[in-house]
Amino acid sequence: MMNLSSGVVLAGFEGLFSLRWPLVGLLLSLWLFELLVDALVIFVIISRPVLHKPIFVFIAAVLLNSLVASSVIYPRLLWDLGRVGPGLSPGSELDLVRVSVRSCLTQAFLLHVMGSSSFMLLGAMSLDRYLSIMCPMQYVTLMSPRRVLCLLLVCWFCPLAMVGVVIALVSRLPLCANVVYRIYCDPYTIIGLSCPGPMAQLAVAYGFFLVVVVLFVPGSFVLFSYGRILWVCLFRSRSFSRKALETCGPHIAVFLNYLLSTAFDLLHRRVSSSSRPSRALEGLATAASLFSVMVPTVLNPLVYGLKVTDIYRQITKLLRR
């Protein structure tokens, strides 16, 4: 059993020493781009009364989550990439990047809360689009401001509470190792390093329950809602189908974007769970983790800023002024 004061070694930075400065430039550019575009879209939604509709409120909430998550992960990645150096021992490529267990748990908590909340918000968006297309006459009543606020609170506070329980369980686990082949922390990082026992099994079981609640349930509802909308479009007029697809298309793209990022993260987690992955698998895991960070950063603001017609129109009006 290891002392918690020894910290967690993020060995995923191994092999990035020669690429650290190009990666710092790329990640810094992407972070600044996200901050600028997300803040612009959120400002336009808040300041333009014509955009004070449920779907745009949910879009602003998703982009706000993205801003918080990027502010959690990008500064730490930039700092760690900037401070790695050539190793002192023969054959070593870099000095180890070590973080405290408390810092690792804090980052894991914030990232997991924001990611889980975003998935639930995508489910709320699909509900909004389903009601607007399938029940247009009752839409205003069904999606009243009070119900929209209730949905927002559920999407934010439900993950906050459930992820908090996971972190509380994980923080009590004794560690039997401290090296993980990742470049950032999540709760499963600590679970993978913990000693086997009933507490670790409980943390794994509760983590699986959390994944079902915040990923599979909203994801299944998204697939059902948009599948139902697409099915109805087959039997409606061409103008109706075109309008419905233009309305739902950006949200489907963002949902697929999150699925892709989750797949990259799962691949990274699967490889990093190995005690010592091969050189090729280690490089694949690091690339997957970088993609899981960068893909949502680039695509989400582009999709909502350029592909949602009402938002794009208001942005162009603002920029022309």
**CATH for 180:** 1.20.1070.10
Calculate mean pLDDT across residues 11-23.
Answer: 76
Side-by-side strand order, sheet with 8-10:
98-99, 8-10, 179-180
Closest CA to 255 of 289, 221, 286: 221
Q: CB count, 10 Å around CB of 119?
A: 25
Residue 287 has φ and ψ, to the nearest 5°, of -60, -40
Give residue 262's Cα distance to chain centre: 8
What would the two tokens of residue 170 be? 């994980």
Interval 116-136: pLDDT, tens: 898 899 999 999 988 888 888
Q: Which residue has the higher pLDDT, 134 or 280?
A: 134
How many angstroms separate the CA atoms of 112 and 118, rounded?
10
Calculate mean pLDDT across residues 39-45.
Answer: 92
Residue 42: give the domain boundaries.
4-320
Q: Which residue has the higher pLDDT, 73 or 86?
A: 73
Number of domains in the chain: 1
Q: What is the pLDDT of residue 208?
A: 83
What would the two tokens of residue 115 be? 């990611």
Strand-pair category, 8-10 with 98-99: antiparallel
How many angstroms separate the CA atoms of 53 and 310, rounded?
11
Helices (H), 84-134: 101-134
Closest CA to 264 of 298, 282, 289, 281: 289
Using DSSP's 3-state secondary structure scheme, residue 84 falls into coil
Interval 195-237: pLDDT, tens: 888 888 888 888 888 888 888 888 888 888 888 888 887 777 7
Q: What is the pLDDT of residue 42?
A: 92
Type of residue found at 65: N
Interval 163-194: pLDDT, tens: 999 898 888 888 887 787 778 888 877 887 88
